[in-house]
Amino acid sequence: MTESEIIDQIYSLYEGDVDDWETTSDEYLTVRRYLNAGVNRWRYYEKTRWKELFTNLTDASDGDKTTVASTFEYDCPSDFIEPTSYVKIGTKVFQIKTPAQGTTLIADGNTDAWCYFYGNPKDGYKLYVNPNYTLDAGLTITYSYYRTPTEFTTTSSVTEMTDPYFLIYYVLYRLYKNDSEAFNDEFTNAEARLEQMRVSNISGIEENPDEISWNTQFQDGFGY
């Protein structure tokens, strides 16, 4: 559902008609802010790592993806939170160190293939590659990372969450609370949908167990 579709649904449930708010009205823009507050609640709910927010550098709209001669520092995508894999540059896999470990290894003259990430949400994050490692130009940089969710900024914005009706009931709860009206049903519905998303997020794939059953007929070439 796009932002406009979500807000139109909120309007109908709240006002009881289909006239809808103008997209430049105070009411519409206020509801947009409430939608983003709902996105923020979803983002941090129960410290959940949402499957929808795992992505790859190759799919990012920004961030450095290719090495440059004599350059060992590269911008991460603007929605970067933390890496979720090794870093691969060209065909070489680089281990990820902490900045403190990296500083020590550089001082020791270490020439191994390693890197570290550093930065913060305000200034952005960067990938730093061991400057003692011989790094060719024009190599493709790839890694997976966990990113920030999309916020609503335009009428066509779309959220990643699987159940946008959480946002609809979350905003209705906020609107009724502002009006000093009963909001228990909307709050309960919103929280139930949020919890259901969390449960689905941690559930495995149906008929696909977490562990592979061992069968001796498939042991050839692997050993014990």
- Give 73-118 pLDDT, tens digit per residue: 999 999 999 999 999 999 999 999 999 999 999 999 999 999 999 9
Q: Check residue 222 and give its pLDDT.
A: 37
pLDDT exceeds 50 at position 214: no
CB 193 within 8 A of CB 166: yes
The first and second tokens of residue 98, run together, are 């902490």
Distance CA 145, CA 210 (A): 22
Query: Average pLDDT, whole number, for the chain?
Result: 91
CB 164 within 8 A of CB 6: yes
pTM of the model: 0.86
Distances (CA, A) of 88 to 57, 114, 127, 139, 149: 11, 10, 12, 10, 25
Given pLDDT bands bounded at 50, 70 and 90, which one contains residue 180? confident
The residue-averaged pLDDT of 28-52 equals 97
Which of the 8 DSSP states describes residue 66? B
Q: CA dihedral in degrees (135, 138, 143, 149; nearest 10)?
A: 130
Mutual angle of helices 3-15 and 26-44, in 10-degree steps:
110
Q: Check residue 217 and give its pLDDT.
A: 43
Q: Check residue 220 and give its pLDDT.
A: 41
The residue-averaged pLDDT of 131-148 equals 97
Which of the 8 DSSP states describes residue 46? G
